[in-house]
A and B are shown apart, each in its own frame.
Chain A
């Protein structure tokens, strides 16, 4: 026979208040070891009180109070390990490149989509010049028609800082959208990839027809390899999300999504610092005639090579030491 509700509350109230006070102190991080032990035993007592309340006083305020109290204590006791700088380092040294190698198929598919768009855009414009009217933004078309690079003008109007930061936000937006639009069953990501490919392909072909290919190369060479790689990687992450939605396997869709989302976002977060660096290159090195084309090309190829060498090599020795060879094959 259960005690009446007011009696139950009066009997256990002191324990609950003590637990609440300890939880408040735990948040401030001023607990002694002894208090920590008390917290643990008080939590277990509150949990059993909650079980009691669930059976005998369901739906009452006392029940809801205990729910909330136990949830706070549960959160405090079973919280995930704190992310600290060591973990950030481990992330870039091992976790990020390893995740990328494991999910290389998605990055490959994303790259294939991008190249497909690139070829499509280029072929259309090369084959039928009027296609450029459809595919290339009118602002860019005007510049090309006058035989000038649109990038020259950005620089002459605004100081390089502005260009760099403007480009950085633009790249950031594209990268985030490429990834996040994967939530629409991957279709959004596919669209962004193909669309970007088509545009870049069409612009390149248009420049080639007008005899400006060299100057376009001059602008793109320094930052292109890394920047396009990052967008392709973000696209791969978006495709992972889409795949979890289309084919969640044995898990419920929500769980599959959360599971794959954690992996996918590693790819996007890992790219973030590189995106910032390449924004600087794109803002300061790429425009203008400060550097000769061969230097820009060498820089671009060098950076791209370093980036991919890092992605494909970093943490590999440790991975082989810890994992069975059959598992590490992607």
Chain B
């Protein structure tokens, strides 16, 4: 729940509202790169076999025809080194397939989508970030900059942000078929308390029974506003505790 330590990208919109987006860290970026690299690798394997099958299955003939093949090869290498990334970022909303899989995207520092120039710069700099091997320079740069940017990002003025999948249903979801007890009593809950209770309710079914009971009890005590006998009925079983908590949050309407 707590993302306080995640660096944020602050964007000032013309509506005078400040957006703050979570920045993608080095782990997300490495995984996204691995996905992209794997895709490119399989592309090359398939391309190689298709080419050899179509052109010739005899090595000698293949070498004889290799002039065109070699040129294509060089164009292909260039494409995988630069075109793949730039086309992905410019035409698919800042996402190569790997970034899409990891739900991260490239944006400019002002939050706008990247243009051709920014993308070209950051991908041309891959050559330097890769030095002396496996993105060593880029990784050091990512570890040392507050927003986890590699040299190419610094030069292009871009940053990678995360797309979080956030479920709003939990705020309004009804408890699965149950009539609520009297919960009209008690004070209004603070937003943090609502979040805390909802987070507990989401995770409760997967918890160990004793942990589930202990945390439920703590939450009921924290919210307060119950007489002793009411508390006894509420704490009788985990299901009762959770339905009380759900009703308590829902009663905020």
Q: Which residues of A contact B (CB under 8 A)?
A: 4-7, 9-10, 13, 16, 27, 44, 47-48, 50-51, 54, 56-62, 64-65, 67-68, 70-71, 74-75, 78-80, 83, 159-162, 164-166, 168-169, 172-173, 176-177, 179-181, 183, 188, 241, 254-255, 257-259, 261-262, 265-266, 268-269
Interface contact A257-B155, CB-CB below 8 Å: yes
Q: A71-B111, A75-B113, A169-B77 are in contact. Are A83 and B127 (CB under 8 A)?
A: no
A7 to B161, CA, bound (A): 29
Q: Is residue B240 contacting chain A, with contact meaning CB distance below 8 A?
A: no
Interface contact A70-B17, CB-CB below 8 Å: yes
A180 to B171, CA, bound (A): 49
A268 to B82, CA, bound (A): 14
Q: Is residue B252 contacting chain A, with contact meaning CB distance below 8 A?
A: yes
Interface contact A60-B195, CB-CB below 8 Å: yes
Identify which of residues 104-119 in chain B touch chain A, using a CB-to-CB cut-off of 8 Å. 107, 109, 111-113, 115-118
Shortest distance from the beta carbon of B70 to any chain A beta carbon, whole Å: 4
| Residue of A7, A67, A78 ringed by the most chain B CB atoms within 10 A | A67
Minimum CB distance partner of B250 in chain A: A6
Shortest distance from the beta carbon of A242 to any chain B beta carbon, whole Å: 11
A314 to B48, CA, bound (A): 43
A6 to B78, CA, bound (A): 53
Shortest distance from the beta carbon of B141 to any chain A beta carbon, whole Å: 9
A179 to B192, CA, bound (A): 50
A218 to B252, CA, bound (A): 87
Minimum CB distance partner of A283 in chain B: B71
Contact of A83 among B116, B121, B167, B252 (CB under 8 A): B116
> Can you list 15 A-B pairs, Cβ within 8 angstroms, ordered by A?
A5-B252, A6-B172, A6-B194, A9-B168, A9-B171, A48-B15, A59-B192, A68-B21, A80-B115, A83-B116, A176-B127, A183-B155, A254-B154, A265-B120, A269-B117
Interface contact A265-B172, CB-CB below 8 Å: no
Q: Is residue B56 contacting chain A, with contact meaning CB distance below 8 A?
A: no
B contact residues, range? 35 or more
Interface contact A57-B191, CB-CB below 8 Å: yes
Contact of B4 among A59, A60, A266 (CB under 8 A): A59
Q: Is residue B215 contacting chain A, with contact meaning CB distance below 8 A?
A: no
Interface contact A6-B253, CB-CB below 8 Å: yes
Minimum CB distance partner of B151 in chain A: A183
Minimum CB distance partner of A262 in chain B: B117
Interface contact A60-B192, CB-CB below 8 Å: yes
Shortest distance from the beta carbon of A109 to any chain B beta carbon, whole Å: 19
Interface contact A161-B127, CB-CB below 8 Å: no
Which residues from B are CB-within-8-Å of A7? 252-253
11 new A-B pairs (CB below 8 Å) besides A161-B68, A258-B154? A5-B195, A50-B17, A59-B3, A59-B4, A59-B192, A70-B17, A74-B13, A75-B112, A183-B154, A254-B157, A257-B155
